[in-house]
Amino acid sequence: MARSREGWQWSPNGTLQQGLPSIGVIQPPRNVGKTSEVFDVIVIGSGYTGLTAARDATTSGLKTLLLEGRDRIGGRTWSSNIDGYPFEMGGTWVHWFQPHVYRELSRYGMIDQLVHSTDYSKKHNFFSFATRSGRREMSHEEEDELFARAVQKFVNVDGNYGKTVMPFPFNAHWNKDVLQYANMSFADRIAQIQHDLSEDEQHAIESFALLCSGGTRDNSAFLDFLRWWAAGNYDYKTLLDTIIIFKLKCGQSGFAIRFFKEALETQNLAYAFNTAVSRVDGTGDVVRVLTKEGDEFQAKRVICTVPLNVLNKVDFNPPLNQAKREASALKHVNQCVKVHAEIKDPEMRSWSGVTYPNNKLVIGLADGTTPAGNTHCVFFGCDANHIHADENIQETLKAVKSFAPMDVERLVFHNWSKDEFAEGAWVWYRPGMEVKYLEGLRERQGAILFANSDWAAGGWRSFIDGAIQSGTEAALTVKEELLSRSPTSRL
């Protein structure tokens, strides 16, 4: 299996190594040279948004060029198969309540790839809760009861657990009453319900909400949480089911590669990996896309899937609209730290835990059993009390071991904060950003369309589902414009 230059691996008997094997690494890295061909569409970025757009464009018969700065597909979602076991470096969990991702899993005949992350059949079947008041253990039933109670208080802004103010998660502003929460942060909302929160409940809701946002109490928008909650059927257990329970046996890269292969099969796909875009010029009859290496490509349309936090790094002419410039400069808040640990004890398979607020990782949970029979646990940190795992392995190990005594055999991770093509994880807006910028982020600029889960319209913005949705929409628009037999263009 080819090796990506991305990701890190550490083991006690080795040193810290950069680069991990992945079936998402594309070889040869390009099938296109210098060319004066005017493509129908250039897709910038090969995350799920770009992969979906490229697949739908190529299968519609459009000559498509896919440009990607990385050496692999998947963007913020990719897996590294180590000894046959997939570690998910970014996006992981899926569910049949996520329509776009599930439609694709079903279409590719991958329904039998779904497996549970949880397994409560082993000996260490408990939840560790370490807060300001010390550490204790409780059953997973007690854990769920505590977290459900806390989350319900957090979202119950309308006496109907959010269902009145947000009845359609995929059309989140349908009831305009919801806009009263547009500028609210997690901290603001907690202040409103503080009188009704026990210390445990406050630790529970803060740790859970920060797991979701990857930000801080003050910089994370409450509105995003309300949408996740609505998309998760206004129910804590269903929210867990949809965001953190069901993953793919083959790993996400085993799913993403299907999109790429289907596109390639059409013979309409040109591609170049290790090819970062520096400039997009839409002032002429065709759009010109310049790479950092100085190559130039041309197309009738461009679908730009560059994430919010790095969108400003590309030079657009005409310039990005004001919303895009401002939002990209502000950045979304998600600086999630995700660290996998292989733990020697197989009985840890039933464990989960929270350490908050005094640890550099906030939530941990058993996620699988490795081929060696070890327990695979995954840990999440956020921008509050942030850590760069690659800079200080000992500190990272200490953070892992703060959850419970653990014999760590291996660490695997990707530092998304330092990632030049993402500068963060899944999108989580700052208070006010959604109302102020979402529309402008979604706006096309002439022949250049902007597609990304970061500004997807649906209920699962920031998820793989939102990426696929966004890529689907963009490809359909381009197809309708370029293949339409009607005399009027929609441009």
What single letter denotes the amino acid at residue 13?
Answer: N
- Distance, in Å, from the CA atom of 421 to the CA atom of 418, rounded to the nearest integer, reads 9
- Is residue 459 involved in binding a second copy (CB under 8 A)? yes
**Interface residue with a second copy, options 91, 307, 368, 458 (CB under 8 A):** 458
92 is an annotated ligand-binding site residue = no
- Minimum CB separation from a second copy for residue 323, in Å? 21
- Count residues contacting a second copy (CB under 8 A)? 42
Residue span binding a second copy (CB under 8 A) among the ranges 11-19, 286-294, 351-359, 466-474? 466-474
- Is residue 112 involved in binding a second copy (CB under 8 A)? yes
Residue 261 contacts by C-beta under 8 Å, 6 or more apart in sequence? Answer: none
- Is residue 118 involved in binding a second copy (CB under 8 A)? no
396 is an annotated ligand-binding site residue = no
Using the minimum distance from each CB to a second copy, give the nearer residue, 105 or 348: 105
Using the minimum distance from each CB to a second copy, give the nearer residue, 353 or 458: 458
Using the minimum distance from each CB to a second copy, give the nearer residue, 36 or 488: 488
- Is residue 97 involved in binding a second copy (CB under 8 A)? yes
- Is residue 267 involved in binding a second copy (CB under 8 A)? yes
What single letter denotes the amino acid at residue 419?
Answer: D
- Minimum CB separation from a second copy for residue 454, in Å? 17
Please count the other Cβ atoms lying within 10 Å of the Cβ belonging to residue 267.
9
- Minimum CB separation from a second copy for residue 459, in Å? 6
- Is residue 136 involved in binding a second copy (CB under 8 A)? no
- Minimum CB separation from a second copy for residue 172, in Å? 10
- Minimum CB separation from a second copy for residue 228, in Å? 14
Beta carbons of 227 and 459 less than 8 angstroms apart: yes
**Interface residue with a second copy, options 252, 472, 478, 482 (CB under 8 A):** 472
**Interface residue with a second copy, options 50, 69, 74, 169 (CB under 8 A):** 169
- Is residue 18 involved in binding a second copy (CB under 8 A)? no
- Distance, in Å, from the CA atom of 455 to the CA atom of 339, rounded to the nearest integer, reads 26
**Among the listed residues 439, 170, 238, 465, the one whose alpha carbon sits nearest the alpha carbon of residue 321:** 439
**Interface residue with a second copy, options 2, 329, 483, 491 (CB under 8 A):** 483
Using the minimum distance from each CB to a second copy, give the nearer residue, 200 or 443: 443
Using the minimum distance from each CB to a second copy, give the nearer residue, 362 or 482: 482
- Is residue 309 involved in binding a second copy (CB under 8 A)? no
Tell which positions 23-82 bind a second copy, by CB under 8 A.
59-61
Beta carbons of 338 and 90 less than 8 angstroms apart: yes
Using the minimum distance from each CB to a second copy, give the nearer residue, 301 or 414: 301
Using the minimum distance from each CB to a second copy, give the nearer residue, 156 or 278: 156
- Minimum CB separation from a second copy for residue 267, in Å? 7
Using the minimum distance from each CB to a second copy, give the nearer residue, 174 or 284: 174
**Interface residue with a second copy, options 17, 106, 180, 322 (CB under 8 A):** 106
**Interface residue with a second copy, options 12, 16, 18, 107 (CB under 8 A):** 107
Residue span binding a second copy (CB under 8 A) among the ranges 165-173, 286-294, 309-317, 355-363? 165-173
What single letter denotes the amino acid at residue 178?
Answer: V
Tell which positions 175-234 bind a second copy, by CB under 8 A.
231, 233
- Distance, in Å, from the CA atom of 49 to the CA atom of 68, rounded to the nearest integer, reads 12
State the binding site: 49, 277
Instruction: Provide the binding-site residues for a second copy, judged by CB under 8 A.
Output: 59-61, 96-100, 102-103, 106-107, 109, 111-112, 114, 116, 167-171, 174, 231, 233, 235, 238, 265-267, 457-459, 469, 472-473, 476, 479-480, 483-485
Binding site for FAD: residue ranges? 49, 277
